[in-house]
Each structure stands twice: as structure tokens, then as C-alpha cells.
Amino acid sequence: MLDIGTVHRREYELKPPDGASKGECAGGADAVFIAQAPGRIHFMGEHGETGAGLYLSAAIDRCVKVAVSARKDSSLRFYAPDLSERKRATLASLKYKREDRWANYVKVAMQLFADVGIQMKGLNVTVTGNIPQNVGLASSSAIEVASAIALRGLLRARVTEAEIARKLAATHFQYFEKASSAVDYVVGLSARSEQFLVVDEATLAVTKVKSPFSRCRIVITDSRVPRLAVDTELQIRGEAVASAVGMLSHGRKGATLREFAAMDLIDSMGNLPEKIRRRTLHVVQEMQRVTDAAEMLRRADAAGFSKLVSHSHEGLRDLYEISCPEIDWMVKRAQETPGAFGARMLGRGFGGCTYAIVRNESVGEYRQRLDDYERIFCFHPHIHEVKIAAGSRLLPA
């Protein structure tokens, strides 16, 4: 990646750091604060009950870096050297604009601090990153988190990471009129190298579990399948789950699927429409799988973990019904690869990506097993290899 500090200073004609030791940010009018935030993978749980899900997640070694510095006027200047794009705004017009594209995510973080009463002048912002786009790795959330951490340093704001996660989710919805789970922000803020995270969406509590896959890579394969009407289909499934909660709890306010087991749904076959029951059964079983998977990881039981991942994909395919033939083919090829520990659909579904945890020495064979994909489906897959990594942090400027 680019040396963002040098690029930022050159772009905004700032003086180089003077006398700053390693790990410090230089003071003075030309101070630059740089933060880094990772992409993330939800290994299980991303299609759960809204606001009450249970996720098994981790950060990856692809990230976004954001550099910020203060201006003497009230202008907001944004620069993305990777795209050779510049955007402009003012504090008086701090709002979503379609033409601002990636800069809107930085503005979400700015709005967070404005909303808690922290005074800001104009700002210079530079954004760079290497997270693959539009494949379900939370690149936009990473921009928001990195921006928030950099701004917290620049503004000397006393805002906790839990507050950042909740406020980013609320402000994201305000800007884009589209829900963003606080879990994505929690993963970016809380992750540690070589650790999985179990995140409770209801409380944002995090449990860290050491990864037994230090000699493996996570291979993400983009199917390149065009996707249409994903938002509508996912909304229909979310509404089905919500209606099931109402039926099972007899309309009791505040009820969640945490209160019910798979057997409750099986016993309610006569009361719940079949399609609603199946959608909800996947969600209930998935929560249990997340808990079971965490225990398998603690035991370093790679085989047991792999079976749970496979069952998770089967639930998405057969009960939640958001997979497709191309994705199922990729998952099967991964499951047949010696040295692979679990493979599953990744992200929103109806195409998109799969992930597989593969021993380093077996990655080549996994790639070879995908050779027939383009011949069969006429799409050329795009493969990314990543590892579990640490979360967000300030960097030396």
C-alpha cells in the first residue's frame, strides 16, 4: 500500500513531521493522524435475527488507511490516491451526496463527532486501502472505522470503542437510509491477530477464541455471478423471521429467537407456514452452530469445526434459500480438497463469494479444482487469499 502519510502531506502541502519518535504523531498545525482498520469475514451468523444475532467473525489482513489533518478554514477536502479522485464539502453541508461516493463513509465518522458536540474546523482526509470491493468483506465499514479512530486522535475526543460502534451504525443509517449492523464495527475495533470473535449483536459483547488455523489461509473465491434484487429477497426473509418471532411469542414485546430451540419450531409445524418455519429454523440452528463452533475452536477440533461450517452452508442453501448452483459447486470442490477445513457461502447470497480455510500447502490444489468452473458456468472466478489479523489502530505519522 501507499505511504499514506507522505501522500497526505504532499497533497495538502503540509510540513514533514519534526522530531516525532516512532509510534508518536507529530504535534503542531501540520499534525497528521493516521488510522488503519481491517476488512472482516463473518464465518457464521450474518443471516440471523435483526438486532439479536450471534456471529462468528474475524478481521483479515486487508485494510483501509485514513489520514486526517486540520485546516484553517471550514472546508472538507477528500483525496483517494488509489482512484485519483478528489471530493469537496463543508461542515455546513455535512450530509450524504451520491456523487461523493467513498467520501460519504468518511462523513459518517465526522457526523459521529459532530453529533456528540465536538467542535471541528475544516479537515483534510486521505483514504487508501486494499480490501476487495463488493465481495462481503466490509470495505465501507473499514473506511468508517479508520476515519473514526483517526478523528478521535486528532480531536482528542473521549469516545469509547463501544460508543463508536453504536454511533457509526446509527449515523450510517441516517446517511444511507440502509441498516448497517454494529457488529461490523465491533469486529474492526476489537479484533486480535489469530483470534476468532463471537459477537452478540444484542449486547455487542465479544468473546475471543484462539484460532487453530495458523498454518492455513482463508481462500475467498468470487463467483462473479451477477446479482439482482438481493435487497428485496433478503427483506422478505427478514420479515418471515420477524413474523415467526411474533407467532411463537404470541406477540410479546421484546421477544427474540434466543428464547426458542429448534425443537420448538419442529413442534410448531402446524402453526407456522412452512416457508416461514424453514427460514426461522436456519436462524435458530445457526445460533447454536456459532456456540458449538466456538467450542470446537477452543478444543482445536478442526474436523468438528469443518462439519459445522458445512452444515451452515446447507442451512443457507436448503432452508434460507439464498445460495445458487455456482456457489454450491464451489463449496463442494473446496470440501473435496485435502487440507481444507470447511467451506461456505460468504456474504449476502444469490451469488457472490465462498470462503474456505485451507492449509498453506493445499492452496494450489484448491485452485486447480476450480479450473472447470469457468468451462461449466461461463464466469471467471476471482480468488483472494487472506489471513486472520488484528483490528484497528493508530499508526505512526
Which residues are identified as catalytic?
A: 184
Task: Spell out the residues 6+ positions from residue 68 whose beta carbon is closer than 8 angstroms to its own.
Answer: 32, 33, 34, 123, 124, 125, 126, 147, 150, 151, 154
Helices (H), 299-388: 302-318, 325-335, 363-369, 371-377
- Which residue has 447470497 as its cell numbers? 349
Distances (CA, A) of 317 to 147, 331, 351: 37, 11, 12
Distance between CA atoms of 65 and 146, rounded to whole angstroms? 6
Q: Are 315 and 293 in contact (CB under 8 A)?
A: no
Cβ-proximal residues to 33 (8 Å cutoff; 6+ apart), any chain: 25, 67, 68, 69, 150, 151, 153, 154, 394, 397
Residue keyed to cell 463467483: 223
d(CA 115, CA 112): 5
Nearest to 209 by CA among 78, 55, 74, 5: 55
Instruction: Quickly tell me which residue has 469486529 as its cell.
Output: 187
**Which positions ≥6 away from 372 have C-beta within 8 Å?**
none
Q: Which helix (H) or strand (E) holds 281?
A: helix 274-298
Residue 365: HSE in the Cβ half-sphere, 13 Å Cα cutoff: 13
Are 58 and 44 spatial neighbours (Cβ–Cβ below 8 Å)?
no
Residue 233 amino acid letter: E
Q: Please tell me the distance from the alpha carbon of residue 206 to that of residue 312, in angstroms, as a whole number.
A: 21
157, with CB counted inside 10 A (0-12, 13-18, 19+), is middle
Q: What grid cell was written down for 387? A: 489471513
